[in-house]
Structure 1
Amino acid sequence: MLNKKLTPRLLMIPAAIALVLAGVAACGGSDTTPPPEGGRWIAGDLHTHTTQSADADASQTLDKILSKAFTTYGLDWMAISNHLRVSTRDEKGVTLPASIPMSLGAERYEIARVQALQAGGTYANKLIFSGFEWDMPTHDHIGVGLFEGTDKLATSTRGMKEFEYLFTNRDASMFDAADVAAWKAKYGAARYNASADDALKAIAWLKTNYPETSYAVINHPSRNKGSYTIADLRSFHDLAPNIMFAIEGMVGNQMEPDRGGYTAAYTPDNAALRTYGGVDQIVAKLGGTWDALLGEGRRIWNLTDSDTHFKIVGANSSGYFPGEYAKNYVFNSAQGTPTAKDLLQGLRSGKMFSVYGDLINALDFNLVANSTRKGMGDELAVASGEKITVTIRFKSPAKNNYEKPVDSGLGASVKPVVDHVDLIVGDVGARATPGSSAYAVDTNSSTRVVKRFTSADWKVDAEGYYRVTFETTASKNQYFRLRGTNLGTDVAGLTQNGEPLADQRTSTVDNAQRFNDINDRNYRSLWFYSNPVFVTVR
């Protein structure tokens, strides 16, 4: 019998017994049971750094990160997204004779090494590609990927170089002279790296040159004050909805003393610059920015990343390795090894959920009306007064990657247990008009938890999923989304009435103890978020 008094709900049980109880594979990679639509969930990370980023540790070699992501933690796909700044080291951490543009470093060291490994059979069944993290003028960081090709898209190194030249202040002499001459002939002498208008020009450039084969994800949106207003987010999405379709709401850098690296002073006026259960307030706040965007019917999705730079080095800690703590599960209908085209299609579709600490490793969330079934990212068209059945099915692994002590390689044999799942609903209305007062409104007052489910509500079905259903009646345009946690609804310092509270700094003086306290803090507070299902009333 499970101890329901444990808060948060982490069970210390022998691994063999846990496997029997769970009836599913241990964490790492995608669940073996396909969702009802067919296909499978593929787990991955869109935001990682190696030693080729100057703020990553020299020990964070490409080979090490690939091994952690795919061999240790079983991911299916990963984007290498070093900073679009100068590269001073190669993929092994060796200092270069002179700094070079990141795009050249990616081409010469990063992409070449991945191709050699996969050609030799290592990670041949994994999707690995190169993107970059761009310092967006007047804002913060944007994760960008751009591809070319036909069936199997490949990173466009040609596009990376042109983007870096146009939208950074990199000295033109660092690029190939023939390329610079061609770019000047195409664009003139102008370059765009200083203003908010320049930021929009970059998005427009992606839309013009890679309209179907690029993405631009807003990373850690509230880490720094004034980085993004909701008007900014709306304008990005208005300009290129096929490219600016996701927010990194469940941020990386979770091993920082300030969870997520959100280091603003801990004062009441900085409440919006905190994480809440490790989640940026844009997504974590019920009825906040994300709900305001969804309330306009915008297809803007939430995702999570590791933002790995290093885990623990000397007296400092930063983030977990790819797949160790944060995972995105993206639905892939294709067979065999996923391609960049498959992943991009899955990301755009919104058929994905994101999770910390392997709280769950499978989710089937769907709405059915009149025999029509729709899942995450979809739209269910119904008649007014029609009955809608909401079905939630999820699994948790036999154990997660919680270590005791941290970074020791000694697993604590902890089975993550979901305490409750919130079914959240919000109304959908018209889009705000650019320049209007509504364009700056970052709340959705209609958003609410329509039902909170606990273990008293769900049952285990024939496929080993915990399953619960809920019935409602269609009366207006709405969206439904899920949020789940291992925490009780009222846990001192962590939750209040089911809502996550602002994370506090872990400031233990002793280094080793602080690292363990941070790790314990993170695994004590686990969350998952689904993307929404929209309902349109005819």
Structure 2
Amino acid sequence: MKILPPAPRFRTSLFSTLALGAALLTACGGGSGGGAPFAGLPIAPPVPAPAPSPAAPPPAAPAGRWTVGDLHVHTIQSEDTQQISTLDQVLAKAFDTFGLDWVALSDHLRLSSYDNDGRKLPAQIPFSKGMADYQVPRIKALQAGGKYTDKTIFASFEWDMATHDHGNVGILTDSPMSDAALKAVSQFEYLFTNRDPALFPAADVAAWNAKDARAFTTHEDVLKAIAWLKKNYPDSSYLQINHPSRNPGKYTAAQLREMNDAAPDIVFSLEGMVGNQMEPDRGGYNSAYTPANLPSRTYGGVDYLVAKLGGTWDALLSEGRRIWNTADSDYHFTTSQGLYSSGYAPGEYARNHLWGDIKDPKSLLTAMRSGKLFAVNGSLINALDFKVQSAKGAGEMGTEVSAKPGEDLKITIRFKSPERNNFEYQLGSGVYANVKPVVDHIDLIAGDVTGRELPGTPGYARDTNPTTRVVKRFTRADWTLDTEGYFAVTYTVKAGNNQYFRLRGTNLGTDVPNETAGGEPLFDARTPTPAGDDPVTRFNAINARNYNDLWFYSNPVFVKVAAQ
């Protein structure tokens, strides 16, 4: 992660003025097809809530609860944090300030120069040693002392995947953050990075060499690392693909399939709603702004792989693959030295809403695999109930429901938005602008499930799903307020082919200049350098850009249609 110097912008800026003043104290909203909420940057007036309409209470939910968290959080033990984000500070932001329930720390699996408090070490050490010597003992000490005892915290790491980009790896073992788990992380670092063997205990190196060969150069070596995780920690490890399209050509659809095929219970998530949103190039997607690099842009802050209707994520879902989308902060720091900006704190902007009986890291992993999750930026919504009901039962996010051909499927969507999100003006002032996020519309998206593509066939490289379509676009004219305070809408479709349904929602109208066209998000251009190259003005422009452009994405519900 790095901050680039200012560069020209390639489309008209939304930020013709930063004289926000009191205008930012009103709520954002807008009708479908209308202008951007901060158009100008004035903000549209608040949208009155519809009158409540009677509704039956929902059926009793299974055991579990909704939780909120972040899988991608850095501390000062990552070299690119500008040495300002100590472990205690990061956890305080995540839990005390922004109310998360769980966090996976994910410092770079590289050489580290600092302990968890930012003290410079005599010499660089492998991060696995820094995790064992500093990070994990501090987490345990905090919780043993009564701090964050009701929170789930664990240490993972961000791996530089050979020939690709980054992946979050969690190795929990039977006892997360135990000596055995920490030894496993050290072994992974030795085997699957180019670290000097002299940095590891000689006895460990000898034992590891006797069992496995080092592999850290090719795509095939990445598959070997995944195979190693599956062999040793099949139920207690994961690999999440981070910011997949940030750099051009880092993944093909065939390679993503290979990774998922190698270990579907380990490689099952994509960081589609990426972090580093405070960079001028949104998400740090800083390749040249040329037509060839449009797949390496974010679209409404979302990676092209997920944001593109009928794109790579839909192609993978069309095979029935259980691959889920997540939203993470990728937090390093927000601003530094009054000059640089990177990303929001954990829970400040990006939030994963995950359902499960979550008590510890292993139950969190179980919940992540189940896929009942929706991801959101800027707290556009903070509750979502999404069901597909057939005669045989109800399917929810991450699950499958059976149906007969031609039968009616009742689709229920219920959501809430908070009274305000975390939009600050000025950024870092601690003064919230009291902006209430307002959903303009929600798209019900469907795609056919046509079966697995086979390795070696042309379909294995397929990165589109031409059957993906917006089945219905719902606006405030369609939903009503139910007795539990949810905005609710139902819709009926006929069961046809095997298929999946997913949701996408935004605060923007369907045709907002430079933001949306026909309801589809447009690529995020670089926030321009303000007159006089004033960093504070730039920070506020980036922050307003992000809160102007909010989206949520749900995981899919699959429908299995019985043969006639």
TM-score (norm 2): 0.89
Partners in 2 of 1:357 and 1:483 — Cα distance? Answer: 14
Q: How much has 1:355 moved relative to structure 2?
A: 0.2
Contact 1:310 1:317 in 2 (8 A): yes
Change (3 A) 1:456 1:137: same
Partner of 2:309: 286
Q: Is 1:537 aligned with 2:561?
A: yes
385 and 280 in structure 1: CA distance in 2 versus 1, 3 angstrom threshold: same
Are residue 435 (structure 1) and residue 460 (structure 2) matched?
no
User: 1:354: which partner in 2?
Assistant: 375
Query: In 2, are the aligned partners of 1:366 and 1:373 still within 8 Å (CA)?
Result: yes
Q: 2:273 aligned with 1:239, yes or no?
A: no
Q: Find the aligned partners of 2:421 and 2:537 in 1 and give their Cα distance.
A: 21
Q: Distance in 2 between matches of 1:35 and 1:502?
A: 41
* 1:180 positional shift: 1.2
Question: Partner residue of 1:112?
Answer: 137
Aligned match of 1:61: 86
Where 1:81 maps in the other structure, the secondary structure is: strand
Q: Which residue of 2 aligns with 1:259?
A: 282
Instruction: Please say if 1:313 is aligned against 2:336.
Output: yes
Which structure 2 residues correspond to residues 132-171 of structure 1 after superposition, within 5 A?
Answer: 132-149=157-174, 156-171=181-196
Write the deviation string for residues 289-320 of structure 1: whole angstroms up to 9, x where unpaired.
00000001111110010001111012110000
Alpha-carbon deviation of 1:37?
Answer: 3.5
Counterpart check, 1:415 vs 2:436: yes
Look up the SS of the partner of 2:108 in the other structure: coil
Q: Which residue is equivalent to 2:524?
A: 503
1:373 lines up with 2:394 in the alignment: yes
Partner of 2:80, secondary structure, is: coil
Given candidates 26, 44, 65, the residue that maps to 1:40 is 65
Q: Which consecutive unaligned segments of at least 5 residues does structure 2 have?
A: 1-26, 53-57
Q: Deviations over 1:306-346 (max 9, x none)?
A: 00111101211000000000000110135xxx211211111
1:351–1:531: 8 Å Cα contact kept in structure 2? yes
Which of 326, 347, 352 lines up with 1:323 in the alignment?
347
Assess, with a 3 A threshold, how the Cα gap between structure 1 residues 381 and 276 changes in structure 2: closer, same or farther. same
- Aligned-partner residue type, residue 520 of structure 2: E
What are the superposed Cα offsets for residues 190-218 of structure 1, whole Å, 9 maximum, x if unpaired?
Answer: 31111111111000000001000111000
Output the amino acid matched with 2:349. Answer: Y
- Look up the match of 1:475: 496
1:450-489 mapped onto 2 (5 Å cutoff): 450-489=471-510
> SS of 2:246's equivalent?
coil
Cα offsets for 1:505-524 (capped at 9, x unmatched): 01222211110000000000
- In 2, Cα distance between equivalents of 1:330 and 1:52: 28
Aligned to 1:273, which of 284, 288, 296?
Answer: 296
Give the equivalent residue in structure 1 for 2:11. none
Q: Which residue of 2 aligns with 1:522?
A: 546
Q: CA deviation at 1:56?
A: 1.1
Q: Name the structure 1 match of 2:241.
A: 218
1 CA distance for matches of 2:29 and 2:557?
A: 33
Q: In the alignment, which residue of structure 1 is the partner of 2:18?
A: none
Conservation of the 8 A alpha-carbon contact between 1:224 and 1:262: yes
SS of residue in 2 equivalent to 1:82:
strand
3-state secondary structure, aligned to 2:72? coil
The alignment partner of 1:131 has SS state of strand
1:49-198 to structure 2, matched below 5 A, reads: 49-149=74-174, 156-187=181-212, 190-198=213-221
Relative to structure 1, the CA distance from residue 489 to residue 99 in structure 2 (aligned partners, 3 Å threshold; closer, same or farther) is same
Kindly indicate whether the alpha-carbon contact (under 8 Å) linking 2:72 and 2:330 is maintained by their aligned counterparts in 1: yes
- State the distance in 2 between where 1:99 and 1:386 align: 63
RMSD: 2.3
Distance 1:96 1:357, change over 3 A: same
TM superposition shift of 1:371: 5.5
Q: Is the 8 A contact 2:35 2:511 kept in 1?
A: no
Aligned to 1:30: none
Partner of 2:21: none
Residues 345 and 53 (structure 1), Cα distance of their counterparts in 2 relative to 1, 3 Å cut? same
Distance across 2 between alignment mates of 1:502 and 1:292: 20
| Residues 1:2 and 1:286: Cα distance change in structure 2 (over 3 Å) | closer
Going from structure 1 to structure 2, the CA distance change for 1:49 and 1:71 (only over 3 Å counts) comes to same
What letter corresponds to residue 92 of structure 2 in structure 1?
S
Check conservation: 1:22, 1:398, Cα contact below 8 A.
Answer: no
Aligned partner (choices 287, 299, 319) of residue 296 of structure 1: 319
1:199 matched to 2:222? The reply is yes
Contact 2:74 2:107 in 1 (8 A): yes
- For the pair 1:333 / 2:318, whether they are aligned, the reply is no
CA distance in structure 2 between the aligned counterparts of 1:443 and 1:126, rounded to whole angstroms: 39
Distance change in 2, residues 1:34/1:411 (3 Å) = farther
How far residue 149 of structure 1 moved from its aligned partner, in angstroms, is: 2.0
- The offset of 1:486, in angstroms, is 0.3
Amino acid at match of 2:246: R
Once the two structures are superposed, what CA deviation does each residue of 1:376-402 show, in whole Å capped at 9, x if it has no partner? 000011111111100000110110000
- Work out the CA distance in 2 between the residues paired with 1:471 and 1:176: 63
Worse-superposed segment, 367-376 or 227-236: 367-376
Equivalent residue for 1:28? none
For 1:136 and 1:38, how far apart are their aligned partners in 2? 37
Tell me the distance in 1 between the aligned counterparts of 2:64 and 2:267: 26
CA contact 1:153–1:340 (8 Å) conserved in 2: no
Q: Which runs of 5+ in 1 are unaligned?
A: 24-32
Shift of 1:185: 2.2
For the residue of structure 2 that corresponds to 1:298, the secondary structure is coil
Which residue of structure 1 aligns with residue 24 of structure 2?
A: none
Please report how far the alpha carbon of residue 430 of structure 1 lies from its aligned counterpart in structure 2 after TM superposition.
1.7
Aligned partner letter, 1:488: G
SS of corresponding position for 1:184: helix
Deviation at 1:88, TM superposition (A): 0.6
Tell me the residue number matched to 1:403.
424
CA distance in 1, matches of 2:59, 2:117: 38
- The one-letter code matched in structure 1 to 2:332 is H
In the TM superposition, what is the alpha-carbon distance from 1:39 to its structure 2 partner? 2.2
- Indicate if the aligned counterparts of 1:250 and 1:279 stay in contact, CA closer than 8 A: yes
Q: Which amino acid aligns with 2:220?
A: D
Contact kept in structure 2, 1:12 and 1:414, CA below 8 Å? no
- Cα drift, residue 437 of structure 1: 1.0
SS in 1 for 2:100: coil
Cα 1:169–1:494 shift into 2, 3 Å:
same
**For each residue in 1:414-448, what CA deviation from the matched residue of structure 2 results, as whole angstroms up to 9, or x when unmatched?**
10000000000000002111111111110000000
- Name the amino acid aligned to 2:152: L
**In structure 1, what residue type is equivalent to 2:135?**
E
Q: 1:12 to 1:66 in 2, by over 3 A?
A: farther
- Normalized against structure 1, the TM-score is what? 0.93
Shift of 1:479: 0.2
Distance 1:220 1:325, change over 3 A: same
Query: 1:2–1:322: structure 2 CA closer, same or farther, 3 Å change rule?
Result: closer
> Quick one: which amino acid aligns to residue 245 of structure 2?
S
One-letter code aligned to 1:430: G
